[in-house]
Structure 1
Amino acid sequence: MTAAQRGRYSKYLKPISIIIDLIALIGLPFFFFRELKLNFWYFNLYQISCWFIIAYFSGFYEIYRYTTPVQIFSKIAKQAVIFLLVVIAFFPFSKETIFSGRAIALSLSLTFSWIIIFKSLTFYYLKKYRIATGSNYRNAIIIGYSKEAIRLKDLFTTRIDFGYRFLGFFSDKVQNKEVKGDLSSIYTFLIENKVDEIYCSLGELSNEKIKNLVEFADEHNIGIKFIPDSKEIFSKNLKIDYYEFFPVLSLQKSPLDEPVVMFVKRVFDIFFSLLVVVFFLSWLTPILAILIKLESKGPVFFKQSRPGLNEQEFFCYKFRSMQINSMTEKEASRNDPRVTRIGRFIRKTSLDEMPQFFNVLLGEMSVVGPRPHLWSQNKTYGNRIKKYMVRHHVKPGITGLAQVRGFRGEIETDEDMINRIKYDVFYIENWSLLLDFKIIVQTVINIFKGEEKAY
């Protein structure tokens, strides 16, 4: 079951909220700042960039079904105050612009009134919608039968507006009507009942069982959270949320799950890809097209079906480096007879991958991310290597951390793939824009140095 099959419409709420906010940010200044001799292109670029930077650090879009109204209004107030100062700071640097405190006050007052009304109505009606229709619920189970676990179950059943459907307890230590089974029966139950979140009482699980459960949850895109025990020392990878006064620990999500980060990464992808297409591919493509055509019959470009984000199919584009053959699902090996002379050169220099910048512009790939594997590799290693499927939680990349660390080319042993997955997962869990820049720079260096496995 892929992430796309498990999804609910809640995933669209953040993008919709961002779009609504952008409409207000871009639209209202046209009404109030028309007399200020403002360059709207520069101003909008400035204010939108600042808006998302502030939102990222203030957690403005981090609103969940258990977030309280007080927390929501606190986030709005924090965003409003900082953004007001940022907007005011624009005017001293724009000499021709006329500063008007009245225009700024009216514009931002209406902007945040718009945002408050929209967020309040969304928050209120979504809760009412869940209660009235029983839709948009998350299926949850609890591992363990402690006092804290029972309290959490009572919270799920009494606070229907939180939107959780409790399916039962699992325990090796207690047997009663509420306990669905022991821990060995969990995995089948999770799949058959499309469970969205697991809540674990840590006193019930050994370290080995926790490790296995986390790996299973990662592979099947199931959320896993921990019911805290004050006697335990928790990992720094855990964060605490409150459902009213009930504390719940969650494994930290990847930074790439954050809407603001996704937006920043997408803007970077588009900007970088356009630079490559305009200043590099515009003249390189005709040259390589002639050389490819002169040596062998067939198309200039080769396209191949690959699994992308959430294991959705897309067609990955390359300059054709092989003779036309029927073994497209077989990866290239050293001295592969299918590879042409020009093909050896463009594969050695990674020029064959350059058309994938068009995949990036289409939104199917990212400049940096886990490399897209063959479907045959997914089938072979998907169940064999732990956390293999985690790489499908983000868009595949033209280059990646595993590639710049030397783990590219032919897979000769399971260890080769294990190392790839290790670096892919590290990248996903520790993403930063600086890391993307480092990987891009190292990729360029490796191209000029030459890579042993680029064949």
Structure 2
Amino acid sequence: MYSTLDKRHVLYGKRFTLTAAAEAFLDPLLVALCLFGALLYHGARLEARYVILALMAFGLMFPGDTRFHDRLRRVVRKKVLNWLIFVVMLGALGYATGYIHHFSREVMLTWLVATPALLIAGHEAARRIVPRLLAIEANRKTVVIAGCNDVGLRLARSFLDDRYLGVTFKGFFDDRGRARLDSIAEMPLLGSLALLGDYVREHRVEQIYLALPMATQPRILAVLDSLKDTTASIFFAPDIFVTDLIQGRMDSVGGVPVVAVCETPFQGLQGIIKRLSDIVLSSLILLAVSPAMLALAIGVKRSSPGPIIFRQRRYGLDGKEIAVYKFRSMTVCEDHGVIPQARRNDVRVTAFGAFLRRTSLDELPQFVNVLQGRMSIVGPRPHAVAHNETYRKLIKGYMVRHKVRPGITGWAQVNGCRGETETVEKMQKRIEWDLEYLRTWSLSLDTWIIIKTIWVVLRGDRHAY
């Protein structure tokens, strides 16, 4: 449902393949068909209001955001979460406008329950049907690669191994001989770059991928000139993409094409939706837990001398310092110089503070930080300024996590990277999860992280101390 916010989705590029079409249209079509099926099951008439509802559902679910490569567990999670988010949004709109009373309760309940099962079954069926359709020669594209380097080899392996691409890989063109290309293995080497144009014309090659180093600009221009007399589609895969891209995408500035190498996922509409969801959820949570927060504040005050709220300087969005709030759980309020991380059986932690930390209740004041715009409900957890200054020198890409607002909970924390990071390797693992969150963000991922956080808190986390 929320892949409409994903600028990397292939649907919005110039390559609209059979696989991309199936991934984009499958979910919205099944949702609409399931509504019509619910009408048929209950013997209800297909009236205009149901047609309008089906069209709304199609529009909101389009394009589908589940890839055929995804594992079944991930498919089930995304289908169910996306559908629940859709139902909540549509239900809230229906209640607010009163239109929900114009629809049959039985039909709506059947639609609500049957749709996730149909989406999962339809996805699994499509995973088996699409490769068979792509195996038909008429549906396949003939491709070659110019340049046998790391990028070119990665492309070739994808062409050979990915049954959803629907391509027939013919081989490489490179000015080096096979003796100098150890990594090419048994892959076909078709000749030098000078022979590329003639080969494309003679064999009706449909797609050419230029995997030539950016430093060899004259060679790239010469290859492009030799291909002007062909109708093949040409794609450039520069060696810049060997680096670790965060939200990599094409853009233009004043008509000049530029490539985003490191960018926040919260640009434009994505940023608005992220911020609105933070404001709404944090407001509702603060209203719901305000009596409990008052009781916890009294408990902190009576447990030991000192302030109720502990304020600590941390890095926020774009590495700017922010003040983060927590219920005080220690006898000290350290915020300068070397700050030792909390350890198991730490003598600084009060008895009541240990309870707060074990249940994560000490984090509740951070929902105020979310309303202030300093934090987000979901995002990389903020570290103390002293820790940031230490690890930014030790871990490559450490500061990239600050391209977004820090979160009360995060992808790293629900995947076991919580608590003390007494080694650089442990912090490195946490940063890897944080950067993965930046690469793959979606509203459904945020929802899944919140659900997993609730489960971790209720189950008890041995790393919380």
Tell me the TM-score normalized by structure 2. Answer: 0.47
Tell me the TM-score normalized by structure 1. Answer: 0.48
